[in-house]
């Protein structure tokens, strides 16, 4: 079998094999043969995988391997060139009209976005708004939730991330770790079914990383929320994830439970990557 066909077949087998099946429920995310290119640069190459409801997945791999791109596509911030994605059984980028699938319009995409929340590398807080306003604004504007109800929920979330006492302050008065914790509370305010985290500690000073990781640990332990996390924090990925996907050149080279990926990776490319990154100080 040619190498390209062999890799595709392997990818399909991996996609069909969800390591931790939550009570045999249908996948909450289904990714099928998706491709994304920027000019001649292939960022995602016929990618396939499923995510079970409540599953916690760590996406690891070198820069430019497609990890962030797949999160942005799931958040509808980037479009597909080929393939399909379903969220809770509904097409993400297409909608049904008259019994056939057509390109989704903005109203449909807006509805699908309510199922997914994302926290970015940079905090993207509104500098002229208070912390409370940053967290409560989206439910008020996008869901029509009354201000009092939205602010009550925002205060509960700020308490969860340990920042209730900062509610009336502006982002400029916060540390980087505090800003990222506010960004997490803001994403949770819309009550998404799926949360995406894109290198949420990469812009932080080393001493602030742990406070953000502790919030993610709390979310993982106390909720059944489905979570996909792009990270270079290998120790955290090992302890947090149900499953680890190793990306390289737009494909999933290897996937499996953290213990297998980090202690006995089967693929030479995975072994090489982990040797370099763990050698750089990100110990398991």
Q: What is the CATH number of the domain that holds 23?
A: 3.40.50.300
Confirm whether 68 is domain-assigned: yes
Confirm whether 96 is domain-assigned: no
Confirm whether 69 is domain-assigned: yes
In the chain, % helix, strand, coil (3-state, to 5) comes to: 40, 25, 35
pTM above 0.85, yes or no: yes
Confirm whether 237 is domain-assigned: yes
Confirm whether 258 is domain-assigned: yes
CA pair distance 284, 267, nearest whole angstrom? 18
Is the Cβ–Cβ distance between 226 and 274 less than 8 Å?
Answer: no
Is the Cβ–Cβ distance between 219 and 197 less than 8 Å?
Answer: no
Which structure tokens are listed for 78?
A: 């980037």
CA pair distance 225, 193, nearest whole angstrom? 6
Is the Cβ–Cβ distance between 200 and 232 less than 8 Å?
Answer: no
Number of domains in the chain: 1
Confirm whether 150 is domain-assigned: no
Confirm whether 22 is domain-assigned: yes
Q: Phi-psi category of 78—alpha, beta or left, where left has phi over 0 and alpha has psi -120 to 50?
A: beta
Tens-of-pLDDT digits for all 284 residues of the chain?
455 444 444 444 444 444 444 557 899 999 999 999 999 999 999 999 999 999 999 999 999 999 999 999 999 999 999 999 999 999 999 998 988 989 999 999 999 999 999 999 888 899 999 999 999 999 999 889 999 999 999 999 999 999 999 999 999 999 999 999 999 999 999 999 999 999 999 888 888 899 999 999 999 988 899 999 999 999 999 999 999 999 999 999 999 999 999 999 999 999 999 998 876 545 55
Confirm whether 21 is domain-assigned: yes
Phi, psi of 246 (to 5 degrees): -100, 115
- Give the domain range for residue 50: 3-85+195-279
């Amino acid at each position: 079998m040619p190498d390209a066909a062999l890799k595709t077949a392997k990818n399909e087998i991996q996609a069909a094999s969800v390591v931790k099946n939550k009570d045999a429920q249908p996948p909450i995310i289904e990714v099928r043969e998706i491709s994304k290119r920027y000019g001649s640069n292939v960022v995602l190459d016929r990618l396939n995988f499923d995510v079970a409801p409540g599953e916690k997945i760590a996406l690891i791999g070198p820069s430019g391997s497609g990890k962030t791109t797949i999160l942005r596509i799931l958040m509808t911030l980037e479009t597909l060139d080929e393939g399909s994605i379903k969220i809770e059984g509904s097409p993400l980028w297409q909608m049904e009209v008259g019994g056939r699938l057509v390109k989704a319009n903005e109203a449909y995409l807006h509805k699908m976005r309510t199922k997914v929340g994302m926290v970015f590398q940079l905090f993207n807080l509104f500098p002229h708004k208070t912390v409370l306003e940053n967290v409560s604004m989206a439910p008020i504007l996008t869901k029509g939730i009354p201000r009092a109800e939205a602010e009550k929920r925002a205060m509960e979330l700020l308490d969860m991330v340990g920042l209730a006492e900062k509610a009336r302050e502006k982002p400029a008065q916060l540390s980087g770790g505090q800003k990222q914790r506010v960004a997490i509370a803001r994403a949770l305010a819309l009550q998404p079914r799926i949360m995406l985290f894109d290198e949420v500690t990469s812009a932080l000073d080393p001493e602030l990383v742990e406070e953000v990781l502790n919030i993610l640990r709390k979310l993982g332990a106390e909720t059944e929320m489905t979570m996909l996390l792009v990270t270079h924090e290998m120790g955290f990925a090992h302890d947090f994830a149900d499953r680890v996907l190793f990306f390289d050149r737009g494909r999933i080279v290897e996937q499996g439970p953290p213990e297998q990926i980090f202690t006995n990776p089967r693929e030479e490319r995975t072994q090489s990557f982990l040797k370099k990154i763990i050698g750089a100080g990100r110990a398991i």
